Amino acid sequence: MNHRNEIERQINQSSLVFADMVFHCGESMNQSATLMIEAIRNGKKILWCGNGGSAAQAQHLSTELVGGLRDHDRPAIPSIALTT
C-alpha cells in the first residue's frame, strides 16, 4: 500500500498552517520572544504551562532552554515547566 500522497498532503497542509501562523501571529511571537529575552537578561526564569499535549510541549520547551536547543556550549537558561 502506498501512502505517499497522504503523507505529502499532510506535510503540505502543515506548511500552510505554519505560513498562516507567521502571517497572523508573527508580531505576537516577536513580542513574546522580546519579553522572554528581557526576563532572562534580568536574571529571571521562563515558566511554561500547558494541559494534555501542551503540558508535554511545555516540558520540552523548558528542557531545550536548560539543556541547549542548538548551542550546547552556552550556559543553561533558567526555565521550569509548571506541569512537572
Encode pLDDT of 35-64 as tens digits. Answer: 999 999 999 999 999 999 999 999 999 999
Work out the pLDDT band at 71, boundaries 50, 70, 90.
low
3-state secondary structure of 1: coil
Q: Tell me the C-alpha distance between 15 and 32, whole Å.
A: 22
The four Cα atoms 63, 48, 59, 69 give a dihedral, to 10 degrees, of: -30
pLDDT at 69 over 80: no
pTM above 0.85, yes or no: no
Residue 43 has a pLDDT of 96
